[in-house]
Structure 1
Amino acid sequence: MFNKIACILFISLCSVVYSQKKISSDFDYKVTYNLHYTLDSTKLSDRKSEYMVLFLGDKLSSFSSRAKLFKNGVVVKGNTASTSKESITAFPYVILKNTKENYLAYTLQIVYNYFYYEQPSGLFDWKIHDEIKDINGYTAQKATTTYSGRDYIAWFTTDIPISDGPFKFNGLPGLILEISDTQNHYSFTFYGFEKLEPPVPFKINLKQYVLTNKEKLLEVQYRYRQDPFTYANNPNVKITPEVHQAYIKAFTEMLEKENNPIEKD
């Protein structure tokens, strides 16, 4: 149930409607990537890393941080480490790619509220090059594209003829093993590929999510991260107005340092 603050945010999303989409799939493969990234463009040497996971089925894929899986009872059963360091992520989203209907859904949970927006899968105009190299025993071929203010170099392999990859990337005639923007601010490197036996069942009911657009979702996420106390409106949390303002100031300064998102526009 939406709390009072969430209801206000809900009303402000004037284009929001409830979707009727129910999606289910069996995931047959799991790909793990190591993401190296730089959130602060003024401190490019301050690079961080995080493991990201792509689950693949015949009609659906799911991409998220590995830490996110610690909270996912469908994919990881019996895990009680949701408050551990390993479950903390800078990338709380889950991206679903529906290969049959050619769209992707960017989903995000904010406290007890669930949001998503959709984009067509065909976001990328790829140019395939003749250059090849070996990546962990796979023959990989070079491809380049431009997306959301960044130029990218990707390496894909037809040894795994699945047209998918990390983040929103897809559309090549094989699995993307590596992809990096030319400034090396965001770099996904291949860590492992495995067949899941038995396949892992996955279900999601987007009827329980609020459908919005990218700009409005980022706006709500910013409001939450800047002032989580107001957003959550938890009556059990008692802080003075002075302390509250100090938290808002600290969180705002933190967000100002996250000035280098993977999508620039």
Structure 2
Amino acid sequence: MYKIVLLFLFFSLNFVVGQGFQSEFRANYRMTYILDSLTRKAKVEDFKLFFNRNQSYFLSDKSILSDFYEVKGEVLDMKQLQSKRTLFLDRISYDATKKDFSVYLNEGKTYYKYKQNAELIWNITNETKTINNIVCKKATTAAFGRKWIAYFSTDYTFPFGPFKINGLPGLIVSVEDDRKTIRFVLDEIEKHHKFIQIPSNVKAVSKEQYFKLYDNLVFNLSILNHVAFVEDPSFKQKLINSVMERKRMMNNFPMDLDMKSIME
């Protein structure tokens, strides 16, 4: 088993305590996604959506784990590091009254944020579908470089959903892009009366600047200069190859294709 001495992690593990809201519910979503269009092999990752009547906060389960984990130079094994690694670093807060969202990126002890209007134009149909024993209505929209097909439930009258997909007259139970490379499905919804902290003291940047920071954080290999490989120095090259292969496969990503157009 490979072990490395961590002077810095590949993604950020410090949580900035700040503003937030009192949640009423927590929705658990599972995302199925395809990185490589050639193999069409699906991967999965779990996400949480915390919300009340007016606000929501969406992030990966792995980001939640990282909030409670601090690295202070100790030795960790590679499996432990990889278990916390995610390609989905965004933390997204949505304000239903203002119909806008803020997207946060944690880089070390600094949070960056860009803000965007989120009033999507939905076409709601009469088509219905039962998903996980919930009767849903179908709606479609185009946003973030993709066409989306969503199913929402008016049994839960909250205008929220996963990622940046919001604004329907009911909680989104399922949503996928028309190319079937990304799909979120609601696994569970439960009451959750807790204060949800949202990063404060953040640095506001443009969407373009944010995406460049994001790309650098995920794929900048200079971070390996700060890592000492204890048992097998050659493992560094293996890790570099793995990162480059992951970047090659991201021809369908990110979820917001504006990033792809900026980075190309």
Checking the alignment, whether the CA contact within 8 Å between 1:95 and 1:106 is kept in structure 2 is yes
What is the identity, as a one-letter code, of the residue corresponding to 1:49? V
Which residue number corresponds to residue 10 of structure 2?
none
Structure 1: distance between partners of 2:20 and 2:217: 30
TM-score, scaled to structure 1: 0.76
Checking the alignment, whether the CA contact within 8 Å between 1:227 and 1:247 is kept in structure 2 is no
Q: Is the counterpart of residue 203 in structure 1 residue 197 in structure 2? A: yes
How far does residue 85 in structure 1 lie from its aligned partner after superposition?
5.5
Structure 2: distance between partners of 1:172 and 1:192: 19
Structure 2: distance between partners of 1:155 and 1:200: 27
Structure 1: distance between partners of 2:145 and 2:168: 20
Compared CA separation, residues 71 and 243, structure 1 to 2 (3 A): closer
Compared CA separation, residues 32 and 228, structure 1 to 2 (3 A): same
Checking the alignment, whether the CA contact within 8 Å between 2:118 and 2:166 is kept in structure 1 is yes
Q: Is the counterpart of residue 107 in structure 1 residue 104 in structure 2? A: yes
The 3-state SS of whatever aligns with 1:105 is strand
Checking the alignment, whether the CA contact within 8 Å between 1:226 and 1:248 is kept in structure 2 is no
Compared CA separation, residues 111 and 248, structure 1 to 2 (3 A): farther
How far does residue 167 in structure 1 lie from its aligned partner after superposition?
0.4
Which residue number corresponds to residue 56 of structure 1?
51
In the alignment, which of 161, 164, 168 is matched to residue 160 of structure 2? 164
Structure 2: distance between partners of 1:87 and 1:224: 15
What is the identity, as a one-letter code, of the residue corresponding to 1:218? F
How far does residue 248 in structure 1 lie from its aligned partner after superposition?
5.9
Q: Is the counterpart of residue 132 in structure 1 residue 125 in structure 2? A: no
The 3-state SS of whatever aligns with 2:168 is coil
Which residue number corresponds to residue 13 of structure 1?
none
Q: Structure 2, unaligned stretches of length 5 or more?
A: 1-17, 69-78, 259-264
In the alignment, which of 241, 254, 265 is matched to residue 246 of structure 2? 254
What is the identity, as a one-letter code, of the residue corresponding to 1:106? V
CA RMSD of aligned residues (A): 2.8
Q: Is the counterpart of residue 175 in structure 1 residue 171 in structure 2? A: yes
Which residue number corresponds to residue 7 of structure 2?
none
Which residue number corresponds to residue 16 of structure 1?
none
The 3-state SS of whatever aligns with 1:54 is strand
Compared CA separation, residues 247 and 48, structure 1 to 2 (3 A): closer
In the alignment, which of 209, 223, 226 is matched to residue 216 of structure 1? 209
The 3-state SS of whatever aligns with 1:221 is helix
Checking the alignment, whether the CA contact within 8 Å between 1:115 and 1:210 is kept in structure 2 is yes
TM-score, scaled to structure 2: 0.76
How far does residue 180 in structure 1 lie from its aligned partner after superposition?
0.8
* Sequence identity percentage: 27
In the alignment, which of 66, 86, 90 is matched to residue 89 of structure 1? 86
Compared CA separation, residues 263 and 42, structure 1 to 2 (3 A): farther
How far does residue 237 in structure 1 lie from its aligned partner after superposition?
5.1
Q: Is the counterpart of residue 47 in structure 1 residue 39 in structure 2? A: no
Compared CA separation, residues 70 and 163, structure 1 to 2 (3 A): same
How far does residue 251 in structure 1 lie from its aligned partner after superposition?
3.4
Compared CA separation, residues 110 and 233, structure 1 to 2 (3 A): farther
Q: Structure 1, unaligned stretches of length 5 or more?
A: 1-21, 74-81
Which residue number corresponds to residue 219 of structure 2?
226
What is the identity, as a one-letter code, of the residue corresponding to 1:258? M
What is the identity, as a one-letter code, of the residue corresponding to 2:41? D
